[in-house]
Structures are given as C-alpha cells and as structure tokens.
Amino acid sequence: MSLIRPLPCALAVLFCFPVHADDLVLQRVLVEGSRLSQLGLAESAGAGGVGQKELAARTTYRPGEMLEAMPGLIASQHSGEGKANQFYLRGFNLDHGTDLATWVDGMPVNQRSHAHGQGWTDVNFVIPEIVGRLDYRKGPYASHDGDFASAGSAEISYANRLVKNIGSITAGENGFARALLAGSPDVAGGTLLYALEGMRNDGPWTRPDDYRKLNGVLRYSRGYANNGWNVTAMAYRGRWNATDQIPLRAVEAGSLGRFDAIDDTDGGSARRYSLSGAWRRTGADSASKLSAYVIRNQLDLFSNFTYFMVDPVNGDQFAQPDRRVTSGLDAAHTLHLHRGETMASDLTFGARLQNDNIFNALRNTRARQTLSTTREDHIVETSGGLFVESVTRWNKVVRTVLGARADRFRFDVKSDLAANSGRAYDTQVSPSFSLIVAPLASTEFYLNYGHGFHSNDARGTVAAIDPATLDPLERAPGLVRSRGMEAGLRTEAIPKMQTAVALYRLDFDSELTYIGDAGMTEAGDASRRYGIEFSNYWRPLKWLSVDFDAAFARARSAGKRIPGAVEGVGQLALTVDKVGPWSGALRLRYFGPRPLIEDNSVRSQASTTLNGRIGYRIGKDMQVEVEAFNLANRRDSAIDYYYASQLAGEATPREDIHFHPIEPRSLRVSLTKTW
C-alpha cells in the first residue's frame, strides 16, 4: 500500500524520483505543465518541487537565480559573477549560504569553515539544461537534512537521460557569450550523459568582469531512478574581475560612477572537481540508498570593502585563499510496514558522514600581491550524523512524521598562532514532528515542530586571541541550535490552482557568525523570526500559467533589528507556452527594504526588476529565444550595506551606505538545436 493517494490517471502523470530514503516509496505527482503537486507527499506548507519544464521557463541572469524557484527566496550578488551569491529567505540575510543547505546530486554545496563565509554556497558549476528537478523545504522539520538547513534546503538533481540531445549558442550585450553541448546516448547497456559548457561575461562594469568559465559533466548510469546506479564526474573552472559594493557618498558627489570600481584589482578564481556515485534499490517491502562523493574545491578571492581605512598607503585589499577536499558517505534504508486496509508506515534509518580537509588563510594584499599574513590555518572538520524517521498514514485523513537526528562534530585546527590551535567537539540531538490532516482530497493542513542547527567555523571554536589585534577572544560553540514551528495549509480545491500558506517562527540560540573578512568570530544574542508566506500557482489555460508568491518576516535579536534581515519579497510571473510556435514569460521580482543598522535608522531601498523572454520554434528541432533583463531599466541596488570606509583623500573614515547596482537593461539571443 502506498502512503500517497495519487490523482486520477486522467489528470496526472506519475514519476518516481527518489531523493532521500523517505522518498523511495512515494509517488511524485506532476500535473502536466504545472508545478509538482505536493498533496499526500509534503510534510509542511513550505516544501515543494519544481520540474524541468518550469525551471526551463524561468529567465535567470546567473545560475544561482535558479534557486528563486523556491518561493520567498532571493539570490543577489555584490561582486564579480564568479563569486557565490548572497541569499535571503525567511527573515535571514543568509550571506553566501549559511542556514540554506544546498545539494547537487546528493553532494553538499555548502563549504564549512570557509575562508570568506561559513556555509559558502557556489552554484556557478550547475548546468541548467540537464537539471531534472529542484526540491526544496523550509524550516528544520526534516530529520535527514542536518547542518545549515534551519531556514531552508534545496536539492538540485541532474537527469540520467535527456529527452533529446541539445546544442545551444547564446550571444548578448556586455560581452556575454555561451555555448552548450549535451546528450545521453546508450552505451554498453547503460546511459552516458555528457554536458559541456563554455561562457564569458563582461557585465556593464567600467572594468569588465571578464568572467570566463568552463564546465563539464560526465555520468554513466544503469537501471532506473529507484532501481539502479550511476557514477558522475564534474569539473568547473572560473575566473573573474570584481566590482564590489561602492559608497553612496562618492556616487552622489559625482566622483564615482554607478558601475565604477574603487580597487580595480579585486576579483578571483575558482575550481571544483568531483567524483560521485549513487546506488538505489526498491522492493515491495523495503528501499535502500547509498551514495558517496569526493570534491576538490579551490578559491582565490581578492576583496577591498573599506578602501584606505586600515592602510592609507597600500589600501585595504585582502586575499582569502581556500583549498579543500571534501569526502562523504550517505546511507539510508526504509522499511514499508502495512497494517490493515488504511494504515501504513515507512520507517527509515540513515547515516551521513563528512570530512573536510581544509587549508585557508587571510592575507593583506595590494594588487593581488601579498604584503602580510593575518592568519594561516589547516582545518580538519569531521562530522557524523544518524537519523531515524517514521512516516505513518493512520487513515485516509491523518498522517504523521516523527523524526530524530544525532550529530557529532570534531574540529581540529592547526593555526600559525599557537594560541589559536586546538581541538573541539560538539554534539546535538534534533527531534522533529509533523502532523498532516487532509479532510478533503484537495486540501491539507500542517503543524510542524523541529530542532535544527548550523555549525560554526572551526577556527572560532578554538581561537583564544584575535589574529589581527591579539586581543583575547571568547570561543564559540561548534553547533548553534535552532527551533522552528509552523502552521500551514495547501489546497488544490480550485481547479488548475495550487495554493500554499504558512505561518512560522524560528529561534536561534545565537547569531554567532564567523567574519571571514576580519579573520575572527563575532558573537551575537539569541534571535527570533516570525513570518507568513503565500504561494499560488494557477494554470487557467493549457498555454498560460500564473505564479504569485509573497513573503513577510519580522526578525529581532535582543529587541533590536538584525542588519540585512529581509522583511518582504514577492514574485509575479506569467508564462505562455504552446501558442503555435511561440512561447514566452514575464517575471516581476520585488526585493523589499531592509534595516541596515540595529536601530533601524538606516534602511535600504526596495528593488523591483522585470525580466522576460520570448521564444519561436523553427520546425521540430530548433528554437530561437530572446531574453531581456531589467526591462524597465531601473537604477536600483542589488544589495546594500552600512559600514565605515575611507576613500583616498578623505581624512577620516565615514559611515555610509555601500551598494552594488543591478545590471541595466540587456538582451541575450539563443539558438538551440535538439536531435
């Protein structure tokens, strides 16, 4: 007996897409042309899935914006194109990925104890055309998620087989060019998926980004998604110049243009190589999954955010090199238990092991040449997690999810300062519970409670002194607990419409963060966030769909605002498909104002962008498409900060808003051939 009550076959196409062990026996229901239906599957109103067709219909300026398919999430950028995005979700400025756990094909993207930011999440290696689906969850209610998943998690899965081979070339304004070749021929009784991408982009900046990347995927698979195995190799290389955020005072005075840089030697390079494998077996009474991976990441990052405040002669540029090898193993086994005609359970046991061998540093530089070293560290961070989860359908109306997770972390740091070397351990047990009530076949109500956590930077767990000033430091705990609760509903009572509403609260024991730019840990008070989210998808006609998402949040720590905490976001999209040879979309995105200082006396401005695309199919196997970004040509900010800096010629530092502008209106034209 399946735990899921599928829609009638006339209305649905059924796919089995296992991701975690608890998914292995669950049928994914895809209403043709729509989002993945979550009725009978989701554990909360904040969980969902997006199929390849909807992902392909989105107009995205950069790969990280694919994650905006998660309602309420904003992906932004304050530097060069090759750098990891800034993310905002559920009242958080998630920096470069802290508290947003991200996986690609079962491999973690978040990088622990990173030179620049905890949980560094760089998805520039993702190739959108071979993504099969995006699954997301919000809140710490899934026992299998673990580290960084308190605000949310996203899982990007590549397809084993493409419907057709793809060849594509794209050219656009500001020096944009991209070429892609992908296919999946049958080889030796299995399928060989390959994809090769090359891209360059200068952007609108006075000093061009000159972003160049080369990206490849090679996968061999046999069997099916729920009964089979695959081995995958990936390789990515990118390099870029960076125009970081600039002070508003200089732009208003006319001494600096909106697209100018202060330090034109900022930038970086990144490399990522991985080898992974997965095996799945599903039977009538059980399901098993085993996956393993080895990832090598390299980053060289050069930044200057304060200009001449610290060093009036050489400037304040600093380097953050990071080299690491990450290896891991995930295993899960599910038992399908049947009790009578209406009661059934899935009982899942799982384990996750991960080890990071890291070499990173913080150096003072001028024009990318080292002047001095603030710190150098060798970090070995090892973690093991065990979880158990029971998904039970008690009858046709009620089901529950009861889970528990136990994690043990070991932090081993060898620093160039003996006082900052050492070993630390931390452990956490995270329970979770969800109640789902479905009084109607088209409507579900959810109550969720769960504990989660994020790991802190290993250096902060053992550091005794500030490496720059040699002042004493208070050591940070290795793990910071979160507690979340949520009430929501999901309904498809109105034909051709999917609606979800969620009210949530999320508490953190501490806003502790590692400040990579300063090489030290900064402690904060406990925090609390409340919010409401609304998501609506409507397909009134076979060729037309309408998306509307809105989210509002309130974030406080010790009674004060949290700088950068997002308060309101929204998206409205119209998508047209199968109107003869024509297709197209318009997407309006609203990124609301945010407090930039604790007393709320300085706030960012809201930004609103309108992107669109129009495509024309030439015969059965060729399409030309035009994408347009920032159609209204608005002069908004992509991101804002408030801090002190000092320009050349200024006698003293000045507190000011520092911003990175959104790109002006631009066009890209693509020609795609399939066979």
Instruction: Write down the pLDDT at residue 5.
Output: 32
Integer Cα distance of 126 and 522 in angstroms = 32
Does a structural domain hold residue 542? no
Integer Cα distance of 32 and 496 in angstroms = 10
Integer Cα distance of 257 and 264 in angstroms = 13
- Are 628 and 612 a contacting pair, CB within 8 Å? yes
354-398 pLDDT, tens digit each: 999 999 999 999 999 999 999 999 999 999 999 999 999 999 999
527-546 pLDDT, tens digit each: 999 999 999 999 999 999 99
Q: What angle do CA 33, 34, 35 make, to 5 degrees?
A: 140
- In this predicted structure, the answer to whether residue 6 has a pLDDT above a threshold of 70 is no
pLDDT band at 461 (very low <50, low <70, confident <90, very high): very high
Average pLDDT over residues 410-437: 96
Looking up residue 353, the CATH number of its domain turns out to be: 2.40.170.20
- In this predicted structure, the answer to whether residue 516 has a pLDDT above a threshold of 60 is no
Does a structural domain hold residue 65? yes
- Are 562 and 599 a contacting pair, CB within 8 Å? no
- Counted domains in the chain: 1
| Range of weakest confidence among 285-289, 438-442, 516-520 | 516-520
Q: Which domain holds residue 402?
A: 13-440+448-492
Integer Cα distance of 14 and 27 in angstroms = 7
Neighbours of 368 (CB within 10 A): 13
- Nearest partner of 638 among 611, 665, 662, judged by Cα: 662
CA 74 to chain centre: 10
Does a structural domain hold residue 576? no
Question: Mean pLDDT highest for which of 336-340, 477-481, 508-512?
Answer: 477-481
- Are 104 and 127 a contacting pair, CB within 8 Å? no
Integer Cα distance of 382 and 396 in angstroms = 43
- In this predicted structure, the answer to whether residue 92 has a pLDDT above a threshold of 80 is yes
Does a structural domain hold residue 355? yes
Integer Cα distance of 397 and 273 in angstroms = 47
Does a structural domain hold residue 153? yes
- Are 361 and 373 a contacting pair, CB within 8 Å? yes
Q: What does the CA dihedral 95, 96, 99, 104 come to, rounded to 10 degrees?
A: 160
Instruction: Write down the pLDDT at residue 517.
Output: 58
Does a structural domain hold residue 149? yes
Query: pLDDT over 70 for what percent of the chain?
Result: 93
Instruction: Write down the pLDDT at residue 41.
Output: 87
Do strands 152-158 and 100-104 pair parallel, antiparallel, or not at all (unpaired)?
parallel
pLDDT band at 20 (very low <50, low <70, confident <90, very high): very low
Average pLDDT over residues 297-317: 96
pLDDT band at 224 (very low <50, low <70, confident <90, very high): confident
- Are 482 and 150 a contacting pair, CB within 8 Å? yes
Does a structural domain hold residue 515? no
Instruction: Write down the pLDDT at residue 521.
Output: 61
Does a structural domain hold residue 359? yes
- In this predicted structure, the answer to whether residue 410 has a pLDDT above a threshold of 90 is yes
Instruction: Write down the pLDDT at residue 24.
Output: 27
